[in-house]
Structure formats: C-alpha cells, structure tokens
Amino acid sequence: MGRRIAVFGTGYLGATHAACMAELGHEVLGVDVDEAKLAKLAAGELPFYEPGLPAVLRRNLNSGSLRFTTSYEEAADFANVHFIAVGTPQKHGELAADLRYVDAVIESLAPLLTRPAAILGKSTVPAGTAARLAARMRSLAPASEQVELAWNPEFLREGFAVADTLHPDRIVLGLESGRGAYAEAAAREVYATQLTADTPFLVTDLATAELVKTAANAFLATKISFINSIAEVCEATGADVSMLADAIGHDARIGRRFLNAGIGFGGGCLPKDIRAFIAMAGELGAGQAFSLLREVDGINMRRRNKMVDLAREAAGGSFIGTRIGVLGAAFKPDSDDVRDSPALNIAGQIQLQGAAVTVYDPQAMDNARQLFPTLQYAQDVPTACTGVDVVLILTEWQQFVGLDPGELGTLVRSRSVIDGRNCLDPRAWREAGWKYRGIGRP
C-alpha cells in the first residue's frame, strides 16, 4: 500500500516528483497556487517539454492515484507526507536565492497540521534554511512537536527527469538533530522501491543535506568551466580539447562526463545555484573559499563572448549587413528550457551588433520567442539557414548532429559553420566544403 503524499509546487521539479511518486504506487496530490497550471496538468498536459513524463502523468491521472488542487486544507487533510518542491530563483539584482516560495509553503501549510506528519524539502536552498523553517513550522503547527521537517534534495536533470526520479544515483535525507524518526520512516516508505533496488540512502544532518545539493552543482559547474579554460589553452596551442577530454576522461578519478567544452552551462539550476552558494558563503564569513566559484561563473560567461567573437570573425570582421543562422535555443538538448540559455544569449548579442539572426530549435521556440521576441524565428533548419553567412550550432540536438552538410551547403550564402558544442564531425563538414570552427579545436 502506498502512502498519501502532497507535493507543493508543480513546476519542473514538483510536477515530475508528483507524477513519479504516483508511478511508484503512492496516492499523490499536487498543490499549487497557479490555477491555470493545475488545469493543464489535470488535463494531462505539461507546461514544459520532458521526454517520457506526459505518459507517466496521464497514466496516473487516469488511475486516480494523481490529482491536483489549490487547497492547502485538502492537502493537510489528505496527506501526512508533504514535499516542498517550489522554486528558489536568483534574487533580482543579487546573487542570493529568493526563498519566498519556500517560506510561503510553510506559512500556509503549518497552521493546518493537526496530526503527526513529515515535511520533506526538495527545493535547493542555502544551508541553514531547513533549520529555520523547522523552527517556524513548529511555532505555527497545532501538532507542533509531532511534525518533523527533513531535507531530501533533488538531483534530477532536465531531459532525464523521470529516470532520475525513479532510479536516482542516491537518496539523501537530512534530519533535525535529536528528532527525525517519523520523517525517516516516512521517507523509507516513500522510497521503498528504490531502497529495495539498493539505491544508496544517506542520512545526514539538515545542513549537510542542503549542502550536498549545492556542492554537487558547484562541482559540475567547475568541471565544465575547467574544460572550457583548457579549451582556451588548446586554442592558443592548436590542440584539440575533445580528444584531450577523451584521454583524461579514461582516468576513473576524472571521468569523461561533464567534460564537453563549448559555450558553457546555463539553465534554471547551475548558474543560480553557484551564485547562491557564493552569496551564502559570504554571509557565513567563508567567502574567500568561493573565489573559485566566482571564477567558474566568469569563465562560463566568457564563453558566450568568445562565441560572439568567433562568429564575427567568420562573418568577415563585422556583423553589419550579415545573416546568421542559429541552430539551438534551449540551454541543452531534449529540453524546451531557455532560462539563462547560452544559445539565446549569443543570438541576442549578435543581433544587437547588427546581424539579421534567424533561430530554430526543435522544442524551445515558444519559450525563446517569449524571452527574445525581437529575434527572427524559423520553423525548420532549412529556413533558418537559407542565405546565411554563418551557421552557429548552439545546442547539440541530435537533429543537428545528424545534419547532412552537403545538403545544407546548397542553401547558405557561405559555407561557414561554428560548432559551439563540439558535436559535429569536423571532417565530414570540411569534406563537404565547409569552413568548420569548433571550440578549442584546431
């Protein structure tokens, strides 16, 4: 028998978590303040693109194990395991995370808790947040001491959200000191399927659990910026960063994953999480330790300018009067997410410098149009590339990796391509008469 679970927040994280918890056999109520979003979800439609998730959503809506509501009363009445899965975006004009949505869940939910319950936080928060929320919850909840708050960070990647939720690498659960038996038992029941499959289960204190998530993202960002700074050296020496990454990646201590040089990282997580980490360390008086992450952020943002410079050079030294075809708008393939997308940032900069830029992306067109309405959008690759002086590959969609350079060559004004993700086969493009430029490749 499954548990009755409420999931607060039905964005990327919350919608995925709610649907996957139902898939595991639990009875799930998704809770959000946004009625339009809930109506869409309840009709089996996702407000974002995520492979495999629509099927999971619809299956569990149809079986009745997944429902949605705006009512906190209903949720408090229904469930005794409450997941917090709301967003923690970057504060406007600051590095720190904006915790208002997390706070709002506690302020609304806690006064309704009249019997034993576990609140499991999944949102990415600065260390110290969970302890503060626990104290606040206890002062508001009628069942006060019988409610436990634990932190259970989420590591899912966009594009693999279902698999990452159903088969995580590890489950981390941070408990309040001196309590947590109820929360741990609840988590063990909720994740029984994964625990039977021997998924590592790490029980920690609250601060460690909060930091595990931030540290994991900081490490990934550092790995990407590391290889991107090596790419700069490769460019200066004529070496090939992709072959170099293959070679160092064979060392199991290093590993090949997240060593793809290119235009760098973006999205709704890595950029804002490393900035929140820097802000938090500063507040705690450990700011010096984080000059490293400032550099990681700086290297990453430089890649975007570097790509603009390469494109300008390929266009003959100035963008004025040129046409640029941009393939890719999403921050990574298999996603329609354009939050802090390097691809769109680059397309925007090039347009502002005088080029006519046409963008195509297999999934992110609507989101891109909303964020950058002044760019031109084409409905397919040929339209985006017809008559252009330079083609830029900015997101490594399989569709672009598999392009036929010969065919594309008949449409463009000049056979010049810059591979911002080092995802093309340089030989095939050069043989088809293209001037190929990669990042950190000769």
Closest CA to 160 of 11, 394, 335: 335
Closer to ligand UDX by CB, 225 or 322: give it: 225
Closer to ligand UDX by CB, 180 or 271: give it: 271
Residues 201 and 191: beta-carbon distance below 8 Å: yes
With binding defined as CB under 6 A, does residue 264 bind ligand UDX? Answer: yes
Query: Which x/- pattern over 318-347 shows residues binding ligand UDX (rule: CB under 6 A)?
Result: -------------xx---------------
Residues 132 and 158: beta-carbon distance below 8 Å: no
Which structure tokens are listed for 255? 């590993």
DSSP symbols for 332-401: STT----TT-HHHHHHHHHHHTT-EEEEE-SS-HHHHHHH-TTSEE-SSHHHHHTT-SEEEE-S--HHHH
Choosing from 21, 220, 388, 412, the residue that interacts with ligand UDX (CB under 6 A) is: 220
Choosing from 270, 314, 329, 346, the residue that interacts with ligand UDX (CB under 6 A) is: 270
Which structure tokens are listed for 334? 């298999």
- Minimum gap (Å) between residue 155 Cβ and ligand UDX: 4
Q: How many residues bind ligand UDX (CB under 6 A)?
A: 20
Closer to ligand UDX by CB, 74 or 240: give it: 240
- Separation of alpha carbons 435 and 6, rounded Å: 55
- Per the listing, tokens 């302890």 go with 131
Residues 39 and 1: beta-carbon distance below 8 Å: no
Query: Catalytic one among 20, 269, 385, 423?
Result: 269
DSSP code, position 155: -
- Minimum gap (Å) between residue 216 Cβ and ligand UDX: 6
Which structure tokens are listed for 384? 């985006």
Choosing from 11, 14, 126, 267, the residue that interacts with ligand UDX (CB under 6 A) is: 267
Closest CA to 12 of 20, 22, 4: 20
Closer to ligand UDX by CB, 160 or 316: give it: 160
**66 backbone dihedrals φ, ψ, rounded to 5°:** -130, 125
Choosing from 4, 193, 258, 428, the residue that interacts with ligand UDX (CB under 6 A) is: 258
Closer to ligand UDX by CB, 311 or 315: give it: 311
- Minimum gap (Å) between residue 159 Cβ and ligand UDX: 6
Which structure tokens are listed for 57? 């959503």
With binding defined as CB under 6 A, does residue 86 bind ligand UDX? Answer: no
Query: Which x/- pattern over 149-188 shows residues binding ligand UDX (rule: CB under 6 A)?
Result: -----xxxxx------------------------------
With binding defined as CB under 6 A, does residue 420 bind ligand UDX? Answer: no
Choosing from 217, 345, 367, 422, the residue that interacts with ligand UDX (CB under 6 A) is: 217
* Beta-carbon count within 10 A of 294 CB: 14
Residues 6+ apart with CB under 8 A from 309: none
- Minimum gap (Å) between residue 66 Cβ and ligand UDX: 22
Active site residue 234: no
Choosing from 61, 99, 241, 259, the residue that interacts with ligand UDX (CB under 6 A) is: 259
Residues 6+ apart with CB under 8 A from 352: none
Choosing from 224, 314, 388, 424, the residue that interacts with ligand UDX (CB under 6 A) is: 224
Binding region for ligand UDX (CB under 6 A): 154-158, 217, 220, 224, 258-260, 262, 264-267, 269-270, 331-332
